[in-house]
Amino acid sequence: MFASYRTRLQAAFVALALVAIAVTGYEASAGASAALEKATLDRLGQVAAATKRQVERYFHDVRNHVLALSSDESTLVAIAEFSEAWTAMGHTEAARTALLRRLFLENNPHAPSARDLLVEPAGGGRYGQVHARYHPTFHRYQNAFGFYDIFLIDTAGHVLYTVRKEADLGGRLEEAPLAGTGLSQVYQRALQLGSVEQAVMVDYEPYAISHGELAAFVAAPIWRAGAKLGVLAIQVSVDEVNRVLADDAAFEFIAGREGVPRAGSRAPGEGPLLRTAVPIDLPDVRWTLIAEEPASQAFAPVRDMQRRIAGWGILIAGVFFAAAWWLGRSVTQPVLELAAHARQLGAGDFSSHIPVRSADELGQLAGSFNRMADDLRTTTVSRDRLDEAHQKLRELTGRLIDSQEVERQRLARELHDDVTQRMASIAIEAGRLKLSPARDPAEWREGLERLQQEMARLSGDIHGLSRRLHPAVLDDLGLAAAIEGECRGFFERGGPPVDLAVDPGADSLPAETQLALYRVVQEALRNIARHAAAGEVSVTLRETAEGVALTVSDNGRGFDRTAPEWRAGLGFASMEERMRLLGGSLRVESAPGEGTRIVAELPA
């Protein structure tokens, strides 16, 4: 698809336009998203703080109502008279409860949701008269302040009176189904209070008597002359709190201690949300007001902006494509003409000339091409003669390398058999003299010991020189042992351990092949030690279908062979020439910071 220079030029123009639009769009979107997120969180924080104050004020008012109503003189008289009427209804609690529920629940002429409209039931006796006297007051109080229900409970736990007349009327809070409910809990806690200015509250939880709806209870003792006559309790519906939360955006709810929602204008949201939470300061409950907004809603302006950027991007890309088509055609047409004349020149037609139509770079290129064609026509050199000279140069290079190896073998043999043996003999003699008596035996021994160490180091250095000139182990033990020894020496000289893997058939290779591969390993390890600063080195010699392949790799600093300042040293030239003389190849793969990999391949 991109084989054509014109196509690549056009694609580059369009790609640059798209990249510019994408970067600009991303920066704009990111900035807008951050600004919208901050603004949304600030707004949610203000909403949450305002709603928090409203919720705290509401329950503070509820407590004040409970305290005021429980200390009102009419309430004190009412609970005393309800207690007397309750006692007069029968001899047993069960009989009293049954009668009370028959009068106000079963025989109530009003619908279940309107039972509170009954003021004095027929046959209510003393209780009916007391109810008719005080029920209108409590009923007005309940309606005026939006309470769900108001209870009068004696000190024995009997629910003597309720406004709504539900199934808890006449029940005992320590018995089913009222035992353990929020009403029972707030009653028990209210009885433990020791001050007339105190009230208690229990958190919202499902109240089975009210059809399982969430209900909170606030209660205070009813005092007379320092004694408790009973408890006044108010049931607060969650609807009242929901009305407070619904005054603002419909994204608020209250969560309790365990994180479960208590109230809210809607259920907690799903999906990505922007959320602010503030604690509600109430003495008996631990609530957190949470204000949130879906991220999809908050970031809707950003998505609109992204769509506009995408639309403009498509339009601009189209304009760039048209400009790139025109520019590519104007640039590539002369290049195609140059390519056609270059093919004619390659076919030997040195008379081919390109018309010079402009004075710009393309015109200068055409002129240079015409001058090159003229020069080639007058100074052409025979390809056969060049090939012959090249072949002679290869033969000369091969002979030079062979003679170098012969000389190295001779020097290595002399160093190993003559100089090394003599140095070893001197060391042995020095060790023997160390035991001989002298005028100062300690000084004599110390001097001879230094002499022995120096001679031993000299022997080791000469032995290493011998190995570098020509590895005797290559002739004696084969290629695998020679490479292993070179890797071991590389590690002993301070390099990292070498991961070595050599196929068993390496020792059966021809002598010149073994020598060439060994020299490649030797030179590669030397380069790694000098330049790579590598922590991992591996050497692999394996047989392939075509012959044998040697790989030396490291994780060092690497280099860029295409860099203008890079120059191949004698080591690389020597490795490449050795492979070429044996009909093989040398491939070097490297990049800055990614190590180096040398692959030498020889035919079978």
- pLDDT tens for each residue of 351-383: 667 777 676 666 777 777 777 777 777 755 445
pLDDT for 82 equals 96
Residue 54: partners with Cβ closer than 8 Å, 6 or more residues away: 244, 247
Q: Is the pLDDT of residue 406 over 70?
A: no
Split at pLDDT 50, 70, 90, the class of 239 is confident
pLDDT for 292 equals 79
Q: Is the pLDDT of residue 328 over 60?
A: yes
Averaged pLDDT for residues 6-25: 74
pLDDT for 427 equals 67
SS3 at position 146: coil
CATH code for the structural domain at 479-604: 3.30.565.10
- pLDDT tens for each residue of 421-463: 666 666 666 666 666 655 566 766 666 676 677 676 666 666 6
pLDDT for 447 equals 64
pLDDT for 102 equals 94
Token pair, residue 346, equals 């390659």
Please, where are the H alpha helices in 158-251?
182-191, 238-245
- Looking at the chain, the whole-number percentage of residues with pLDDT higher than 90 is 34
Averaged pLDDT for residues 513-526: 89
pLDDT for 68 equals 94
Q: Is the pLDDT of residue 3 over 80?
A: no
Averaged pLDDT for residues 99-105: 94
pLDDT for 303 equals 72
Q: 63-72, 106-115, 285-294, 490-499 — which is least confidently predicted?
A: 285-294
Average pLDDT, the chain: 81
- pLDDT tens for each residue of 470-515: 566 677 778 888 888 889 888 888 889 999 999 988 888 888 888 8
- pLDDT tens for each residue of 287-302: 888 887 777 776 777 6
Q: Is the pLDDT of residue 403 over 60?
A: no
Of 221-225, 390-394, 409-413, which one has max mean pLDDT? 221-225
Fold assignment, 72-245: Beta-Lactamase (3.30.450)
Backbone φ/ψ region at 488: left (φ over 0), alpha (ψ -120 to 50), beta: alpha
pLDDT for 268 equals 52
Rounded CA-CA distance 441/424 in Å is 24
- pLDDT tens for each residue of 133-187: 999 999 999 999 999 999 999 999 999 999 999 999 999 999 999 999 999 999 9
Distances (CA, A) of 22 to 304, 312, 325, 327, 559: 15, 11, 22, 23, 34
Q: Is the pTM above the cut of 0.75?
A: no
- pLDDT tens for each residue of 28-57: 778 877 887 788 788 878 888 888 898 899
Q: What single letter denotes the amino acid at residue 196?
A: V
- Looking at the chain, the whole-number percentage of residues with pLDDT higher than 70 is 73
Rounded CA-CA distance 295/302 in Å is 11
> For residue 601, what are the β-bridge partners?
549, 585
Distances (CA, A) of 209 to 88, 92, 112, 165: 26, 23, 12, 10
pLDDT for 439 equals 54
**Crossing angle of the two packed helices 441-469 and 383-414, in degrees rounded to 10:** 160
Q: 206-215, 258-267, 576-585 — which is least confidently predicted?
A: 258-267
Rounded CA-CA distance 241/280 in Å is 13
Token pair, residue 235, equals 């049931």
Q: Decide which of 13 and 193 is more confident.
A: 193
Token pair, residue 344, equals 């004619």
> For residue 223, what are the β-bridge partners?
228
Is the previous residue joined to 177 through a cis bond, with omega within 30 degrees of 0?
Answer: yes
Three-class DSSP labels, 507-574:
HHCCHHHHHHHHHHHHHHHHHHHHHHCCCCEEEEEEECCCEEEEEEEECCCCCCCCCCCCCCCHHHHH
Rounded CA-CA distance 603/218 in Å is 97
